[in-house]
Amino acid sequence: MVRLPYTTALTTLFSYGLLFAFGQLRDFFRKILDWIRKPKDLLKGYAPICLGLEDFYVRRLYLRIQDCFGRPISSSPDAWFDVVERYSNDYNKTLHRTEKTTRCLNLGSYNYLGFAAADEYCTPRVIQSLKEYSSSTCSVRVDGGTTKLHVELEELVARFVGKEAAILFGMGYVTNSALIPCLIGKGGLIISDSLNHNSIVNGARGSGATVRVFQHNTPSHLEEVLREQIAEGQPRTHRPWKKIIVIVEGIYSMEGELCKLPEIIAVCKKYKVYTYLDEAHSIGAVGQSGRGVCELLGVDPADVDIMMGTFTKSFGSCGGYIAASKEIIQYLKYSCPAHLYATSMSPPAVQQVISAIKVILGEDGSSRGAQKLARIRENSNFFRSELHKMGFEVLGDNDSPVMPIMLYNPAKIPAFSRECLRQNVAVVTVAFPATPLLLARARICISASHTREDLIKALEVISKVGDLIGVKYFPAEPPKHLNQNHNKLE
Amino acid sequence: MASELMNVTANALVWISSTLDAPTRAVFFGVPIDGHLVVEVLLVVVILFQLTRKSYKPPKKPLSEKEIDELCDDWVPEPLTPQISEEMIVEPPTLESAAGPHAIVDGKEVVNFASANYLGLIGNENITDSCVGALEKYGVGSCGPRGFYGTIDVHLDCETKIAKFLGTPDSILYSYGISTIFSVIPAFCKKGDIIVADEGVHWAVQNGLYLSRSTVVYFKHNDMKSLEATLEKVTSRSKHPEKVRRYIVAEAIYQNSGQIAPLDEIVKLKEKYLFRIILDESHSFGVLGNSGRGLAEYCGVPIEKIDIITAGMGNALATDGGFCTGSMRVVDHQRLSSSGYVFSASLPPYLASAAIAAVNYLEANSSVLSDLRANIATLLNELSNVPGLVVTSHSLSPIIFLKLKKSTGSDKTDMHLLDSIANQVLKEDSVLIVTTKRSNLDKCPLPIGLRLFVSASHSEADLLKAAASLKRVASLVLS
């Protein structure tokens, strides 16, 4: 977890306080102007879409730095891409596209294994399947939307992940939010990590079960919460819980941390609770052969009851899957609303995942998969160690391709983002509400398609910008390794 | 002895009465103190003392570690999923070709009435070409949410195209059809708001209503009198119209029954009672109206009067994803507060370019709509006398809904009969039709039935074949 030094906390709070005060002042003047000018109100008698302070953050804080988010691109999200330039005539309230683009280094897209752009093995097969099956089946899976490709992919995913059977969905978000209500309902208990993704939170709320939260990645607190809850039973009636599910993620996307899976599984087995692992960011990106956190941390996939993942990140496609035992998958195919009511996954996207998994497993006859996996591991570890040496505060564990750099102060967010863009490096900055208010950060996602030169250029730019803005919160190590190389040449 | 006792008692009584009746002995702060005053003051003091005593509660004992251990050992959880029964093992037909009007299932060619391919755009040349171009340029996935470099120029072009087609200021794209409506509703409706919804809305709408935590009141399916009564009841109860947002949620063509909502009456009611309307046009976009612009064009209602329109593009437009459109305020609000937009990866670029190509095709060839309408009319005509089944969908709805004339009384046996009809029709006559599937999480009270999705590219022979087959099998199974 992040430890916030006191001076930084004070300055960040002061900045937010200043922004809040200015926002309130502008709201006050806006009210006076509206009262004077009395604009014609077409919606008289209707309550406004946002009342009072509901959208204060959006209007007065977010709109000032709107140009740092939602930047459109006009090429594939590969290691280098074209960012479209935008301009604004009214202080960032509305942004307009131009025809000009800048070629930038991509440090923001989830392209862990480099399948984002047209790939020599995958793309011809995808185009073939497009011509054969067309871009959509226009039907739900149970009606007429299951094609041979879907069946093949389900078997392949089950084999890849190490479970008995799998089921596909067209969108990762829907996978979580439509699945959790199927497994558990009123009278059940869901214990989820405090930093879980919004889709899990929505699924847990939509299920009607009681939800409790345990401290992020702390198995001892999980054990405490479990003991307390099992002993107490359901709230008010104190009847025993029908079932308990613990939901954790493989890699947390805002922290870059790996989950402490072996300890959590041990606790869950001891207390007979079910486990649900969301591997959205870790499947295909970590592990010796890309099989995710279970392989990396040495956990048997049979110990996790339900494994969920998405195809958007490492496989360059869209959609999600659930892998579990045959009975659970059979039951889900019968009752899960996302399977019964949602249009089935687009066939070319299915083919992309099939081809990507074949490349990773080496079944396409080449060793590109193993090379990609080795490259992403090397790249992540190299980048992270270099950033540490420069004195940045970087979160996350070794081997994880996601690395957040802490910024804290709200003024540093647009400064970092715009300065890096000026030097042709595109980074992602994240602020409230995706992260806690005081802990704004810049998040870097490394890809297997980044070369060593790309990473060195990125490091130079980030170091310069970091000096300019003042985010090197830790003392930097002197650049010994560069000098050593110089000596070697001489 | 007795007389002495009596004497003592008598003397004591005399003494007590004389003290109590004695004239005032003491004056205390100007208040004469009589004897009985002392007793009364003592009584009050005793009462106050008792009131301040705490009532008796048995002491609380927290559970010891050993007791918690025992409870944890004793606890037995239910299995994660219930026992798999016969009916749960259902294998859908596997397609081996594109889901056009003729598809290949298990090696045989079948006439496909299971795909919502209303305009016949599956396999269309223009769409395939634009997809191939997009795949070669952008790859398959967009690798990021819209806020973090997942916005590709085709997304922005698609949004502008749809907005221009419908005549609204702007629109917003979602990456999956079903997630559109259940992200839009919680973005606008919060706790304390009032929603009046049709009872036959599909699961995604129900999920959105549940997640929004607002007060939801249902009205009878497609019944305008019931809607008016509900609106009247709801508005008479609420006290602050300017602080509480109020919405009517309806679908243009209901997935669960094939009925069409009477939009002009709904708009009249909404203006009278000051509600906003959220309309889900998944099955009517590209189908209703002279140029396919949806229910507003068909009913002659100006598009500005409908506050929020959502639609999934997985039906008429033969791609995937969804969009939502309305005024600028409506669309801008969703860019930061709609969870399915902010926290999810964006639509794959090739599907967005397919959507643009589909809308272009529709603008250029609006004759495909009259083909669709002719097909629907033909099929309805043929299906008007199927033994044992009755058509309950609207005459212009591309979803033809047939339900049992006489229900057997239980949903399970109804489902069994309909399944056997559908299976026989597929096996013996090679026509693929489907029954309505209901998840056990779905709370829709409408009856189940058989559904046929009519497409503009079905030929007359296909329609006649389907009708004949259905008549034959229905008379066999339901007699």
State chain B's mean pLDDT as an integer.
Answer: 87
- Do residues B186 and B211 make contact, with C-beta atoms less than 8 angstroms apart? yes
- Do residues B330 and A49 make contact, with C-beta atoms less than 8 angstroms apart? yes
Q: How far apart are CA B399 and CA B228, in angstroms?
A: 27
> DSSP 3-state assignment of B170?
strand
Rounded to an integer, what is the distance from CA A247 to the centroid of its chain?
A: 16
Helices (H), B189-326: 203-212, 224-237, 263-273, 295-299
Name the band, by pLDDT with cuts 50, 70 and 90, for residue A479: low
Q: Residue B131: pLDDT above 70?
A: yes
* Both tokens assigned to B32: 């004469």
pLDDT-above-70 percentage for chain A: 95
Of A75, A113, A427, A105, the closest CA to residue A281 belongs to A113
A338: nearest CA partner in chain B: B178
User: A143 and B434: CB-CB below 8 Å?
Assistant: yes
Q: B368: Cβ–Cβ under 8 A, 6 or more apart, which residues?
A: B119, B120, B362, B456
pLDDT the model gives residue A266: 92
Q: Residue A490: pLDDT above 50?
A: no
Which range among A182-191, A250-259, B17-26, B406-415 shows the weakest confidence by mean pLDDT? B17-26
pLDDT digits (tens, 9 = 90+) for B203-247: 999 999 999 989 999 999 989 999 999 999 988 877 666 778 889
Name the band, by pLDDT with cuts 50, 70 and 90, for residue B24: low
pLDDT the model gives residue A487: 45
pLDDT-above-90 percentage for chain A: 34
Which DSSP symbol is given to A59?
Answer: I
Name the band, by pLDDT with cuts 50, 70 and 90, for residue A485: very low
pLDDT digits (tens, 9 = 90+) for A69-116: 889 999 888 889 999 988 888 888 888 888 888 999 999 888 888 888
pLDDT the model gives residue A489: 43
Residue with the two structure tokens 């033809």: B400
User: What's the full length of chain A, in residues?
Assistant: 490
Phi–psi pair at B117, nearest 5 degrees: -95, 60
Q: What DSSP string describes A355-418?
A: HHHHHHHTTTSSSHHHHHHHHHHHHHHHHHHHHHHHT--B-S-TT-SEEEEEEESTTHHHHHHH
Q: Residue B287: pLDDT above 50?
A: yes
pLDDT digits (tens, 9 = 90+) for B66-107: 888 888 888 888 888 888 877 777 788 888 888 888 888 888
pLDDT the model gives residue B348: 92
Using an 8 Å CB-CB cutoff, list chain A residues near B242: 45-47
Inter-chain Cβ pairs, chain A and chain B, closer than 8 A: 349
Q: How far apart are CA A347 and CA A134, in angstroms?
A: 7
User: A335 and B440: CB-CB below 8 Å?
Assistant: yes
Which range among A206-210, B323-327, B371-375, B385-389 shows the weakest confidence by mean pLDDT? B385-389
E-only strand ranges, B284-344: 308-312, 322-326
Residue with the two structure tokens 């079932």: A243
ipTM of the complex: 0.90
> DSSP 3-state assignment of A134?
coil
* Chain B contacts in chain A segment 323-362 (CB below 8 A): 327-328, 330-338, 340-343, 345-346, 348-349, 352
Q: Residue A248: pLDDT above 90?
A: yes
Q: How far apart are CA A294 and CA A302, in angstroms?
A: 10
Say how many C-beta atoms besides its own lie within 10 A of residue A149's C-beta. 26
The reply to whether the predicted model has a pTM over 0.80 is yes
Produce one character per residue of A474-484: b if its CB has 16 or more CB atoms within 10 Å, e if not.
eeeeeeeeeee
User: B139 and A76: CB-CB below 8 Å?
Assistant: yes
Residue with the two structure tokens 């926290």: B343
pLDDT-above-90 percentage for chain B: 29
User: B81 and A47: CB-CB below 8 Å?
Assistant: no
Name the band, by pLDDT with cuts 50, 70 and 90, for residue B257: confident
Q: Residue A254: pLDDT above 80?
A: yes
Looking at residue B357, its amino acid is: A
- Do residues A408 and A440 make contact, with C-beta atoms less than 8 angstroms apart? yes
- Interface residue A444 vs chain B (CB under 8 A): no
* Chain B contacts in chain A segment 281-320 (CB below 8 A): 305-306, 310-313, 315-318
- Interface residue A145 vs chain B (CB under 8 A): yes
Rounded (5°) CA angle B261-B262-B263:
95
User: A241 and B75: CB-CB below 8 Å?
Assistant: yes
Using an 8 Å CB-CB cutoff, list chain A residues near B212: none
- Do residues A279 and A265 make contact, with C-beta atoms less than 8 angstroms apart? no
B89: nearest CA partner in chain A: A330
Q: What is the mean pLDDT of residues B136-159?
A: 90
Of A419, A418, A412, the closest CA to residue A8 belongs to A412
- Do residues A125 and A358 make contact, with C-beta atoms less than 8 angstroms apart? no
Using an 8 Å CB-CB cutoff, list chain A residues near B132: 127, 130
Using an 8 Å CB-CB cutoff, list chain B residues near A139: 99, 114-116, 453
Task: Count the helices and strands in chain B (H runs, E runs).
Answer: 16, 16
Helices (H), B349-410: 349-364, 367-382
Q: How far apart are CA B177 and CA B351, in angstroms?
A: 12
Burial of B460 (C-beta count, 10 Å sphere; 0-12/13-18/19+): exposed
pLDDT the model gives residue A488: 43
A150: nearest CA partner in chain B: B94
Using an 8 Å CB-CB cutoff, list chain B residues near A102: none
Using an 8 Å CB-CB cutoff, list chain B residues near A106: 149
User: B67 and A311: CB-CB below 8 Å?
Assistant: no
Q: How far apart are CA B210 and CA B203, in angstroms?
A: 10
